[in-house]
Amino acid sequence: MINYNNNPKNYNNRILTEQINTTSNELDIKSTKEIVKIFSEADKAPQKAVEQAIPEIINAIDEITKRLKLNGRLFYIGTGTSGRLGVLDASECPPTFCTNPDLVQGIIAGGIPSLTRSSEFLEDVAEIAISDLKDRNFSNIDVLIGITASGRTPYVVEALNYSKGINALSISISSVPKSDSSLNNDIDIRLITGPEILAGSTRLKAGTATKMALNIISTSVMIKLGKVYDNRMIDLSVSNDKLMDRAIGILFDIGLVDKDTAVQLLKKTNGSVKLSLLIALSGLDVIEAKQLLNDTNGNLRTALIKVNSD
């Protein structure tokens, strides 16, 4: 049930994400060209917002990496657009970096049905957040990123409170200044994109900035975990023709082998690009290469340094 008594009395003091964007006044009578130009100009704001939050994003990446190296997991939690963005980023990690689906998880209020159907009423049911985290066995070795554009979503606020309460690493991503919202966290990422073209529609600038930040965070963490060599995804698993072509290309460029040799290496390693690269660059056999990767925590560069130093 909506609590009308909680609605602000002074609408001149609305939080930033609910304020009116004067650059889009009379949007409904603009030409298509004018509308597109307004959006194009407004969409410069997310990049600036992410740039201004670089120190907090760096801190988040380093602290998340520490936790994951100690067998922790990363969770995103949110409602509506924020929840969908978290689920999207989490779901991209297994195919991109060959991670276990449990390593990075996205939680959205209402579960899977909320990915395609509106369930905004659940934003206000704070206690569900705790049960959703407990259902995933969320613990003090894990990381929680609470995503709430307004900085006030009860579901996310309660999740952050619970996370802090059990000493898990707690990170918040919001799109309002601290004067609009105080969040219980260890790392406070504020992506200030200003009022939306459509007042309150945070799927626009705020959502774009959030997706950018999540891309940077998850990709950087995977780089730190040794799932990237140079600027290539080497911890991918060949499961279709496109990925086979990508794997052959990586072995050609980095391993300096021809196509036939690349295919043979991938057959020997059950489609492991990283293991195939180590064999190609070191001359080790499959068993020796597997052992070396195990000894170097799966880091190809470290493994190659060890081979060259022996």
Structural domain harbouring 102? 11-224
- Positions marked active-site: 92, 123
Compute the distance between CA of residue 207 and CA of residue 83 in angstroms, rounded to an integer.
Answer: 10
Q: Distance (Å, rounded) from C-alpha 253 to C-alpha 276? A: 13
The domain that contains 265 carries what CATH number?
1.10.8.1080
**Summary mean pLDDT of the chain:** 92
Residue type, 5: N
Is residue 3 one of the residues assigned to a domain?
no
In a domain, 2, yes or no: no
Q: pLDDT at position 15, please?
A: 86
pTM of the model: 0.90
Is 1 a member of any domain?
no
Single residue among 191, 224, 257 that ends a domain in this structure? 224
pLDDT < 70 regions, the chain = 1-13
pLDDT number for residue 273: 94
What pLDDT, on the 0 to 100 scale, is given for residue 2? Answer: 46
Beta pairing class for 169-174 and 143-147 = parallel
> For residues 183 and 15, what is the distance between their CA atoms, to the nearest angstrom?
14
Q: Is 132 helix (H, G, I), strand (E, B) or coil?
A: helix
